[in-house]
Structure 1
Amino acid sequence: MERLSYKTLEKLGFEGYLMPEGTERVLQFGEGNFLRAFVDYFIDLANERTGWGAKVVAVQPIAQGRCEDINRQDGLYTVYLRGLENGGQVIRKRVVSSISRALNPYEDYGALLACAANPDLRYIVSNTTEAGIAFDENSRFDEEPPGSFPAKLTRFLYERYSCFKGEAGRGLVILSCELIDHNGDELKRCVGQYTKLWKLEPEFAEWLDREVIFCSTMVDRIVTGYPRAEAEALNAQNGYEDLLLDTGEVFAIWVIEGPKELEDELPFKKAGLPVIVAEDCTPYKKRKVRMLNGVQTTMVLASYLSGQDIVRKCMEDPAIYSFMERCVYDEIIPVLTEYPKEELEDYAAGLFDRLCNPFIDHSLLAISLNTTSKWKARVLPTVREYQAATGKLPPRLMAGFAAYVMFYRGECLEGNALVAHRGDTEYRICDDMEVLRFFEAHKSDSLAELAGAVCRNAGFWDGDLTEIPGFLELVTEYLQLFEREGVHRVFELLGS
């Protein structure tokens, strides 16, 4: 079987959309599954629907990556988006042709710097993981390439500035897709630090402020990547071998925080794609974090303790499903008063379609990572607002916190994890070492004692949770119920 390429598709009589030639308008730091099934997929659709003609140069941000595979396939790869829409299964397959080539700056740094002289280049996209946007004072201007991603970007922007001698209109739009708050602002801050560290001329700093737009963005699509178990069958169906097969869910939204004129400059709206340019992406992020992430964080540990292992199976359990519905509609939506209720209910309907996706086996233990900080960011604000508005505590969110206490009741530290048991099944709790050491120190506590210690740990929650009226008492009540009747019984009681 031949490898996917333009020549292979021609031999097969492929009749789908392809764009072999185009203008390299986008430089992309990151060539992994997410960007290829999200940003590059959107660019490909915009090319087809609007005639934008944009090509992406993908840059390998670390020494090991997929550049060689991308170039061997002429930048082509196949994306499968699969999920539920309005209760029905949807499968969308597309050969994406928006990538022109991939660069490995660790082997040919000059090829990356040469892109700075391209007058058609306008956008830089990045997804270098949450740890990618960080200032490392050891990264040097004369390295080939500099160590950190912000250092690489600073060096590239300086090359751009030098090539065009600080000319107006030659600036770039930076679209940061890393999963941290205010990602564009943080990236801009790091670039400023390198400008000072490397003692670059003041005129360059002025050009950055005047000509380069750093956009924070919110990205939302579950991308499951290479379908290892299905790859052979999918390749046989397609008639070609694709080492870059990529899979994800149907749902997607990309919110770009930037000037209004970007909405007209970028062709995504014209193409009918779920890309929004907004002055502030905070409302969109808050809705996602409170609703999707909030209900996930609430149900995941309790579901695992009740015997489940993946999200999809949880959604097939009537008690867990009803618990989650009531959590969203009765406890989360009522406190999001700045949004129209109809909009929140529409988002909730889509949320449950996503969680029920029959094509994704999302591990509960994978989602359980770092639940301490997740609960603080995703759930605690809703608990406080619900209590302030009603004078009561939200029962389902509180049951989720009780499950957190029980789940984190470990036995011993092994490496970077705390070992615990669900019956005869061993599982590993992964969180910050400070958190794990705290729970190991309290491993001999009764559940009631542990609950008290957890609630009073102001370092976890930026405050003592026992100061919230009834908080510790309700958590203790649920823990007693878990021990007496089992976790699943709580799902049944609170879902009815």
Structure 2
Amino acid sequence: MTRLSLKTARPAYDPQLTDIGIVHLGVGAFHRAHQADYTDAVLAKGDRRWAILGASLRSADTRDALRQQDYLYTLAASDESGERCKVIAALRGVLVAPENPQALVEAMCLPGVKIVSLTVTEKGYCHDPATGTLNDQHPDILHDLATPDAPRSAPGFLVEAIHARKARGLPPFTVLCCDNLPANGRTVAKVVARLAELRSPALGAYVAEHVAFPATMVDRIVPATTDADRARIAAATGLDDAWPVVTEAFTDWVIEDHFPQGRPDWAARFVTDIAPFETMKLRLLNGAHSSMSYLGYLAGHETIASCMQDAALAHFVSCLMNSEVTSTLTVPPGTDVAAYKQALLGRFRNPGLRHRCWQIAMDGSQKLPQRLLGTIRDRLKAGEPIDALALGVAAWMRYVTGVDETGGAIDVRDPLKDELRARADAAGLDAERLAPALLGIEAIFGRDLPVDPRFTAAVTAALDSLIRHGSKQTYETFRSTHP
């Protein structure tokens, strides 16, 4: 079959006639389904200043797949009416940072680059999820402080490029975080300014005073691409694409409008206060996703769509959102939160998205603080019950033991995997021992939750049920007691 390339496909514009205005760190599936899609539309309308140079901070896989097809790729979006494919041409290239760190720094110093955006996942910021502060003992941060001209971490690349631009008399780029961090602009600003300060107090002050970190809320479900996806998309398009991206038709992007060097005219919502949008999405979509992924995986469900076909598990998700999360939200003006929740349930049920529970379950130690624990703190402060939220936390605890309900191994992917497994092995499958062992990880739970008996009792009871009766019976019992 013919390979996708500029010779075989006709994008809406010639990418070779565009200029690089954005460097993106973490050029994975989500970026290619979300920010690159929005940017592709801007380029197609004629503003050719905003092509993207992608960068992988770890693997060469994306570069190697896309280089042979002129960095074009297919975006396949599905809803109940079917799947539609289009070619995205916004990527001008992909750098692989470990191969040549200085090349990436130089790219970030191009005069035309006005924005450096990021989707490096929560763990990519080398921070403490419970406090949002830089973990200055993280191995990559220690490396970047010792060898700043050859960084490894996303914060390290940002600081070195900001330093280099300052030395050359170039204005700083805007740093646009598109990851699911609470107050992501302020969090990344704090992390980057602290790393800069550790290098030089003057550089830290420069970052704090002169570099813009607008906050964002990103919303699109993007499963990992499978070989079945590749075959289906090739059959639909007649072109062989080494790495297409599959997603849902729904997409949303809310951005704090603070871009001193300019920005594309993205079809996003530009606001002055991002917090209500961010909190609503993190707690409703991401909180439900994480809770469902752990419970569903343990019960034998492979995908989120499969979870939603389980009436008792779908009831748990609705109860989590309606009975516990909604009361903690400040609903953004003009937003119909009931309609948003109803739409979420439909998106979760989308059979065209094979979003694996195992994929969503990754990096739970980094995700729990903003997806579940903030909501729990607000509920406890209001004196309200946390039954569904506690079950979500307990399901994570059961999952990270690394052993499923049949005695098989769980491939736990988490930056704290070794510590989680060591604590779980020492405690054994005993809720009275396992719950406090995992709650003792301050980087996740802070100092307040582990000493709050309302929280510890609810989580321990839920964990005991998961251990004794299994996930499916536990959430079926939840359904009968929480109609």
Match 2:13 to one of 18, 30, 42: 18
Indicate conservation of the 8 Å contact 1:30/1:60, yes or no. yes
Match 1:321 to one of 284, 289, 314: 314
Query: Does 2:213 correspond to 1:228?
Result: no
Residue 493 of structure 1 is matched in structure 2 by 480
Residue 132 of structure 2 is matched in structure 1 by none
Indicate conservation of the 8 Å contact 2:427/2:433, yes or no. yes
Residue 247 of structure 1 is matched in structure 2 by 246
Q: Counterparts of 2:459 and 2:145 in 1: how far apart (Å)?
A: 51
Pick closer, same or farther for the CA change 1:278–1:404 going to 2, 3 Å.
same
Residue identity matched to 1:422:
E
Q: CA deviation at 1:95?
A: 0.5
5+ residue gaps, structure 2, are 127-135
Q: Counterparts of 2:314 and 2:280 in 1: how far apart (Å)?
A: 20
Indicate conservation of the 8 Å contact 2:193/2:205, yes or no. no
Indicate conservation of the 8 Å contact 1:455/1:465, yes or no. no
Q: CA deviation at 1:319?
A: 2.6
Indicate conservation of the 8 Å contact 1:76/1:99, yes or no. yes
Indicate conservation of the 8 Å contact 2:144/2:153, yes or no. yes
CA distances 1:400-453 after superposition (whole Å, capped 9, x unpaired): 456566x36xxxxxxxx63434246554666644444443333264x5x45885
CA distances 1:201-244 after superposition (whole Å, capped 9, x unpaired): x5x77765565323343333232243322323422432332223
Larger deviation, residues 329-338 vs 37-46: 329-338
Residue 41 of structure 1 is matched in structure 2 by 37
Pick closer, same or farther for the CA change 1:197–1:92 going to 2, 3 Å.
same
CA distances 1:16-40 after superposition (whole Å, capped 9, x unpaired): 5233312222222333322222211
TM-score w.r.t. the length of structure 2 is 0.78
Q: Counterparts of 1:483 and 1:106 in 2: how far apart (Å)?
A: 43
Query: Does 2:119 correspond to 1:127?
Result: yes
Q: CA deviation at 1:399?
A: 4.8
Match 2:93 to one of 89, 93, 101: 101
Query: Does 2:156 correspond to 1:151?
Result: yes
Larger deviation, residues 143-152 vs 313-322: 143-152
Residue 343 of structure 1 is matched in structure 2 by 336
Residue 160 of structure 1 is matched in structure 2 by 165
Match 1:420 to one of 398, 403, 407: 403
Residue identity matched to 2:7:
K
Larger deviation, residues 118-127 vs 40-49: 118-127
Q: CA deviation at 1:151?
A: 3.2
Query: Does 2:72 correspond to 1:76?
Result: yes
Residue identity matched to 1:490:
T
Pick closer, same or farther for the CA change 1:48–1:364 going to 2, 3 Å.
same
Residue identity matched to 2:264:
L
Q: CA deviation at 1:90?
A: 4.3
Q: Counterparts of 1:401 and 1:156 in 2: how far apart (Å)?
A: 39
Residue identity matched to 2:246:
T
Residue 427 of structure 2 is matched in structure 1 by 442
CA distances 1:129-149 after superposition (whole Å, capped 9, x unpaired): 434334624337987643433
Q: Counterparts of 2:81 and 2:482 in 1: how far apart (Å)?
A: 26
Residue 288 of structure 2 is matched in structure 1 by 295
Q: CA deviation at 1:42?
A: 0.8
Across the aligned residues of Structure 1 and Structure 2, the Cα RMSD in angstroms comes to 4.2
Residue 265 of structure 2 is matched in structure 1 by 267
Q: Counterparts of 1:303 and 1:42 in 2: how far apart (Å)?
A: 32
Q: CA deviation at 1:315?
A: 0.7
Residue identity matched to 2:175:
I
Residue 354 of structure 1 is matched in structure 2 by 347
Q: CA deviation at 1:96?
A: 0.8
CA distances 1:152-184 after superposition (whole Å, capped 9, x unpaired): 333333443344x35xxx442221234444544
5+ residue gaps, structure 1, are 409-416
| Larger Rg belongs to | 1
Residue identity matched to 2:12:
Y
Residue 91 of structure 1 is matched in structure 2 by 83
Residue identity matched to 1:284:
F
Residue 257 of structure 1 is matched in structure 2 by 256
Q: Counterparts of 2:187 and 2:456 in 1: how far apart (Å)?
A: 37
Q: Counterparts of 2:3 and 2:472 in 1: how far apart (Å)?
A: 56
Residue 175 of structure 2 is matched in structure 1 by 174
Q: Counterparts of 1:194 and 1:293 in 2: how far apart (Å)?
A: 29
The aligned length equals 463
